[in-house]
Amino acid sequence: MTTEHEHEYVARGPRVAIRPITPADEQEWIRLVHASTELHHPWMYLPNTPVDYADFMDRIKSKETESYLICDAAGGEIVGFVNLNSIILRAFRSATLGYAAFVPYAGRGYMTEGIGLVTRYALSPQGLDLHRLEINVQPGNEASINIAKRNGYRLEGFSPDYLFIGGAWRDHERWAITTEMLAEQAK
């Protein structure tokens, strides 16, 4: 089945495909965020109004951010999203990933596949040509930690009071992968 976004996909896997998020995704995004509030809290707080979504669209227009939707490959439904934040090029060629699944797709392997696609795309010369990606996860968020592990990210450290989320500074584990690690995994 070909979806209306087929031509926009930057990578495809067996069950998911990734494409840039657009202003046209606003209504579906807001509906999914509201349906997934309990799943996301206390880990993250996503734009959930038209004004917040417009602000989000403005923020991701920068050279330092890429934002993708992870979609069901068969029907095109939005499964989750991933942001590549703090993209720094030149000698560093690195970014941080933030991501979340939406109900009803959480816990079904879609995000693991989607993060794998984004990882390979971001680290490939045909994609963003980055060298290193980092995922920062709150220690109690086992689902996100498992996604990082299943995609070959290594635990590199612990950062107390790392990010301000939900009105408080939150501790985070730092998981990372490099092009060398990805190449070794492919052998």
- Give yes or no for a contact between 60 and 86, defined as CB atoms under 8 angstroms apart: no
Model pLDDT, residue 176: 98
Q: Work out the pLDDT band at 4, boundaries 50, 70, 90.
A: low
Q: Work out the pLDDT band at 32, boundaries 50, 70, 90.
A: very high
Please state which CATH number belongs to domain 6-186: 3.40.630.30
Query: Averaged over 118-128, what is the pLDDT?
Result: 95
Helices (H) and strands (E) in the chain, counts: 6, 8
Query: Averaged over 122-140, what is the pLDDT?
Result: 94
Model pLDDT, residue 6: 54
Share of the chain above pLDDT 70, in %: 96
* DSSP labels, 125-148: TTTT--SEEEEEE-TT-HHHHHHH
Residue 27 has pLDDT above 50, yes or no: yes
Round the average pLDDT of the chain to a whole number and report it.
91
Model pLDDT, residue 2: 41
pLDDT of 59-114, one tens digit each? 888 889 999 999 999 999 999 999 999 999 998 999 999 999 999 888 899 999 99
Q: Starting at the edge strand that comes first in sequence, how are the strands of the sheet with 66-72 ordered?
A: 11-12, 16-20, 66-72, 78-88, 94-101, 132-137, 168-178, 154-165
Residue 47 has pLDDT above 90, yes or no: no
**How is residue 29 written in tokens?**
């995004």
